[in-house]
């Protein structure tokens, strides 16, 4: 378990002015440093208890945390208790946020942030500054920090900022980016490369022909079999077209590994 997300992030609890805090807890939370990835969850969604089903068993001081988020918490509450309620409120808002951003209105809000590249851009040169989207590797809190998904190369990256890198991935969930592109298929970026595609493949083929079968003491076969791949899912199920492509890619990789094993044995 990563130490970065062993408990909810509590830094900058005092960030923002008193006037911001008195106007709206949510607006204060969103304006705090490190929370730029989050969008505003509409109050009507939060006040509908059906949308919060099951969260009361996951959050300590659930009722008070919900009151704080909706600006209904008693102002006379002790400072020490307010601090613990504040932590619970941040955690609860994150869990609500994960549910909200896969609704039609939540997707629309996150789409606007995506268009403005609020989540950063892909560092890969051949992705040509493609905007990224936040994603969780698991929907269970306290397990994995948030990552950034590139819809062009379909790979994952860690946020540049340590503040963003310590956000729990469960606050965005494993479904969000793929649901966004199913609802807005026109936003899926083209996978085609620029001119000179064949030349790139030719040079890559030449380099691979000349490359050694291993790097240092690690064989190519061992490295290939341990390589991790990100597999897009919606509610835990593989996306059909992507899954079909990946089954073909896995079959090709397995054949290549078999050929490498033969070369390493000297067959």
Average pLDDT taken over every residue of the chain: 81
Q: Which of these three, 110, 134, 169, is where a domain ends?
A: 110
* Residue 192 within a domain: no
In terms of residue numbers, what domain contains 72? 3-110
Range name among 88-92, 109-113, 148-152, 192-196 with the lowest pLDDT average: 192-196
Q: Report the candidate in 132, 56, 44 with the shortest Cα–Cα distance to residue 95.
A: 56
Query: Hunting for tokens 């403005």 — which residue is that?
Result: 116
* Residue 230 within a domain: yes
pLDDT top residue among 72 and 191: 72
Residue 254 to residue 257: CA distance in whole angstroms: 5
* Residue 15 within a domain: yes
Confidence grade of residue 245 (pLDDT, cut at 50, 70, 90): confident
Predicted pLDDT of residue 5:
46
Same domain, 101 and 128: no
CATH number at residue 59: 1.10.1820.10
Predicted pLDDT of residue 258:
84
Same domain, 72 and 15: yes
Model pLDDT for residues 55-106, shown as the tens digit of each residue: 999 999 999 999 999 999 887 777 778 889 999 999 999 999 999 999 999 9
Predicted pLDDT of residue 165:
95
Give the contacts of 81 (CB within 8 A, at least 6 positions apart).
none
Model pLDDT for residues 6-54, shown as the tens digit of each residue: 444 434 444 444 444 447 899 999 999 999 999 999 999 999 999 999 9
Q: Which of these three, 110, 139, 156, is where a domain ends?
A: 110
Q: Would you state the structure tokens that stand for residue 155, as one six-digit string?
A: 């790979």
What is the number of structural domains in the chain? 3
pLDDT top residue among 215 and 54: 54
Same domain, 14 and 69: yes
Residue 118 to residue 132: CA distance in whole angstroms: 8
Q: In the predicted model, what is the mean pLDDT of residues 100-114? A: 97
Contact call for residues 238 and 232 (beta carbons, < 8 A): yes
* Residue 37 within a domain: yes
CATH number at residue 129: 2.20.25.20
């Amino acid at each position: 378990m990563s130490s970065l997300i062993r408990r909810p992030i509590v830094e900058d609890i005092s960030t923002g002015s008193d006037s911001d805090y008195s106007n709206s807890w949510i607006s204060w939370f969103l304006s705090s440093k490190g929370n730029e990835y989050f969008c505003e969850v509409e109050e009507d969604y939060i006040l509908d208890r059906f949308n919060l089903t099951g969260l009361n068993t996951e959050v300590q001081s659930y009722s008070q945390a919900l009151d704080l988020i909706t600006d209904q918490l008693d102002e006379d509450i002790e400072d020490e208790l307010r601090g613990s309620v504040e932590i619970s409120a941040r955690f609860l808002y994150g869990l609500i946020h994960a549910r909200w951003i896969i609704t039609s209105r939540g997707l629309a809000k996150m789409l606007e942030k995506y268009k403005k590249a609020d989540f950063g851009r892909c560092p890969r040169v051949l992705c040509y500054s493609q905007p990224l989207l936040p994603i969780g590797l698991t929907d269970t809190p306290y397990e994995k920090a948030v990552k950034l998904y590139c819809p062009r190369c379909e790979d994952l990256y860690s946020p540049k900022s340590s503040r963003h890198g310590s956000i729990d991935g469960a606050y965005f969930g494993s479904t969000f980016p793929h649901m966004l592109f199913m609802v807005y298929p026109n936003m899926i970026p083209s996978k085609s490369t620029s001119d000179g595609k064949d030349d790139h493949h030719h040079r890559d083929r030449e380099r691979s022909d000349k490359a050694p079968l291993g790097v240092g003491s690690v064989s190519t076969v061992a490295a290939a079999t341990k390589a991790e791949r990100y597999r897009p899912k919606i509610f835990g199920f593989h996306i059909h077209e992507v899954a079909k492509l990946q089954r073909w890619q896995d079959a090709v990789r397995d054949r290549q590994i078999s050929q490498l094993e033969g070369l390493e044995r000297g067959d």
